[in-house]
Structure 1
Amino acid sequence: MGASSSRRRRDDYYPPPHHYPPPPPPHHHHHPPPPPPPHHRPPPPPPPSSYYYHPHPPPPHAYHGPWHPAPAPPPQQPQPTALTGPPPEFVEHQQAQKVKNYVNLHKDTIRLVPDGADPERRLVAFTFDAITDGSVTIYYFATEGKDCSFSSVYPELQTPTKIPFEKGLAQRFIQPSGSGVDLGFFSLDELSSSSGEVFPLVVYAEAYPSPEEGGPSVNATRAQITLAVLEKHNNDLQVKVMKQILWIDGVRYELQEIFGLVNSTEADVADADADDTGKECVICLSEPRDTAVMPCRHLCLCSECAKTLRFQSNKCPICRQPVEKLMEIKVRSPGP
């Protein structure tokens, strides 16, 4: 029994550590900090945070009964998420209305030439096509009035006169000598700007169709109006066309170029026979192009792909500009 007790003491015995921590410095015991100097001020009030303040008393503790686990809800199938973005804006799809133009001025050929009788004056010259007889009227510094009529803001400068022409293709027109204007009286800013809807140069080409060609309203006006400004290049005035207007049976149309539209001239027909590439829809690459994207005016789609594009995108496939509407243009294919 004695041996058992001695063994138990040996089991509970732990040897002392090899080193003890150093004692604290002497000033901790022999030099306590001096007391603060006495003062006779009242003790400061406790900080506001020590007070308990709450605008509303705490709610009473609710009694909770024994806890019973609620039945687990049935598993739900995950809903498929659409990978597409927000739907594009709706794009209007229109069909172009066919309008017969009786006279057409080639706007890239219009220019000013000096008058042989008076070199200070300038005469207007250009190339045009006409399927009927008609007349040309030249206006300087003119503004548009009612029913697409024009009048000069300087009536003393020139008296507009109608110059007749006969029907024919690729005709050359030149203003009669003596009917031009000396433009040296005007500043370059006046000649090169169209501010206030006053255009320095207006060419009014009017057609006179015969009763067989005119249709139901023979007496209605059919004209093409070219509005231009004059810019100085290499010490000479050059014509810059701003826009062209078509006035047919009391309706005003503003002409715009369509990029990709094939002309039906004989030269283009010969080129089409030699090489017919580049005229297919840029989406399906099989159907001919017959729909233009507005306002960029790229003729690059077929009618079926244009209908699909209305609900999938609002960007032009060529220039990526926003699409406001689609214009379907039925182009007659040349015969064999």
Structure 2
Amino acid sequence: MGNSSSSQRQRPPPPPPPPQQYPPAPVYSTGPQVPYPGPYGPPPPQHQQQYPPAQTGMQPHYPQPPAGMHQYGQMPRTQEYQRTATIRNQVNLKKQTLKLERVEGAPSSLAIHFTFDASAACRVLTFVNAREDSKCKITCQRPANRPAVSYGKGLEQKFPPADAAAAAAHAVDAGELASTSRPLPPPGQQLPKDTVYPLVVRMEALTDEGRAQGKVLEEVAPGGELPPWVQSQTTYAWVERDGEEWVARVVKQKIWVKGEAYELQEIYGMEQNSRGPAMGLPASVEGFEDVEGNECVICMSAPRDTAALPCRHMCMCHGCASALKTQTNKCPICRNEITSLLHIKINKGTPAPAAQPQAAS
């Protein structure tokens, strides 16, 4: 028994069992942590296990996101904010009132009619078949002796004046218009710089600096280059024949302020009431009202004061516009892309800009 006990104590221990093999842990992949566009917050992360694809001979199909939605990891383009600068324009022709009417007793003569507002004394000039250069100098194809007509300060003033002689001097020969009569160009079409406009109306007034210096408008030749101490508004109209009548349609309006020319752009969704000058003018005006209500189209409570550019739809309040620009870059009205936002302050009874002036070429 003693020998058997000794042999058992000398036996070496058995080797340890081999380590157990475990499958590799799955790897989880998530997209970058960025805000998800839309009102419902971010979606849950997608877990993709890294296992070898089955050998089926077919390519795996991954569904595409619905059209119109942002791709994961892509933020909508940031829109910049712009603020308007108030330009006190002293004259404004209401372009919807511009028309041509036949003169009684002279079937071939057409009288120019329009309504305008002036916050200072001004003069009115008319031109037929004329072009304008970069210095706002107007040149007519045929020289015409059309004297300037002076007006005082006032709203809802009428042209032509009551003076029959002055009205006759500004009558237009229908035959002269026939040479340049053509269809109205499509909206948004860029016209050449040397375009001849059938009808041009210019209204001029002195600036505060001009009055302080003792300047007078008679120092500037009709249609001549404008000095910085003159402020003007020029209306360019297309004339086309409609049966026996002639129709004048405004193509654009420009203002001359402190030696710079600006082309006026209308803001859609804002309209001037009947007591103030026409919209589309950064002028000293009162009482802008909206035709269908002044509520923001998003919250339906706050007044709208922000326009989307370049479509120029003023349809949002400042707060909703700030929230919208972090979620999408589409205009709520036309769904076109927004490149910037224009905040417009409109106060009843105080001067307010009604359009964004853009430098004219």
Query: Which residue of the other structure, out of 175, 186, 192, is the alignment partner of 1:184?
Result: 175
Corresponding residue SS for 2:135: helix
Contact 2:305 2:317 in 1 (8 A): yes
Within-5 A mapping of 1:43-58: none
- Tell which deviates more after alignment, 229-238 or 192-201: 192-201
TM-score scaled by length of structure 2 = 0.63
Paired residue secondary structure (1:121):
strand
Q: Does residue 335 of structure 2 align to residue 330 of structure 1?
A: no
Q: Which amino acid aligns with 1:177?
A: A
How far off its partner does 1:84 sit? 4.8
Structure 2 match to 1:320: 335
Q: How does 1:1-336 map to 2 (within 5 A)?
A: 72-79=23-30, 80-81=45-46, 84-85=70-71, 86-116=74-104, 118-155=106-143, 158-174=144-160, 176-187=167-178, 190-192=181-183, 196-209=194-207, 220-263=229-272, 278-334=293-349
Aligned residues: 262
Q: Separation in 2 of the partners of 1:308 and 1:206?
A: 43
The verdict on how the C-alpha distance between 1:182 and 1:97 changes in structure 2, with shifts beyond 3 A counting, is: same
C-alpha distance in 2 between matches for 1:214 and 1:327: 34
- Alignment partners' CA distance in 2, 1:124 and 1:288: 39
* Aligned CA distance change for structure 1 residues 298 and 271 (closer, same or farther; 3 Å): closer
Moved segments of 4+, more than 6 Å: 212-215, 269-272
Displacement, 1:304? 2.4
| Larger Cα-atom Rg | 1
- Matched to 1:201, the amino acid is L
The match for 1:57 is none
CA distance in 2, matches of 1:171, 1:123: 16
Show structure 1 runs of 5+ residues with no match.
1-67
Which amino acid in the other structure matches residue 333 of structure 1? K
Aligned-residue identity in percent = 34
- In the aligned structure 2, how far is the partner of 1:129 from the partner of 1:202? 17
Query: Structure 1 198/70 Cα, relative in aligned 2: closer, same or farther at 3 Å?
Result: farther
Deviations 1:101-131 (A, max 9, x none): 1011111111112345744222211111001
Query: 2: CA distance between counterparts of 1:271 and 1:241?
Result: 22
Following the alignment from structure 1 to structure 2, what is the Cα–Cα distance between the partners of residues 211 and 221? 9
CA deviations on 1:21-63 (whole Å, 9 max, x unpaired) are: xxxxxxxxxxxxxxxxxxxxxxxxxxxxxxxxxxxxxxxxxxx
For structure 2, the residue ranges without an aligned partner over 5 or more in a row are 1-18, 31-44, 47-64, 161-165, 185-190, 216-226, 277-285, 351-361
Q: Which has the higher helix share?
A: 1
Give the match's secondary structure for 2:96. Answer: helix
CA distance in 2, matches of 1:276, 1:137: 33
CA contact (8 A) 2:177 2:198 kept: no
Q: Deviations over 1:257-308 (max 9, x none)?
A: 22222536669x9997xx9983122222332211111222211111222223
TM-score scaled by structure 1?
Answer: 0.67
| Residues 290-333 of structure 1 deviation map (CA, whole Å, 9 limit, x = unaligned) | 11112222111112222232232121101212223211111113
* Inter-CA distance 298–289: structure 2 relative to 1 (3 Å threshold): same
Do the aligned partners of 2:123 and 2:151 also contact (CA within 8 Å) in 1?
yes
Change (3 A) 1:279 1:123: same
Larger RCO, structure (CA 8 Å, separation 6 or more): 2
**AA in 2 matched with 1:248:** V
Q: CA–CA distance in 2 between the matches of 1:112 and 1:254?
A: 24
The worse-fitting range, judged by mean Cα deviation, of 107-116 and 217-226 is: 217-226
SS at match of 1:281: coil
Summarize deviations over 1:188-226 as a string: whole Å, max 9, x none: 6545467642111000011124569889x9962211110
Aligned to 1:43: none
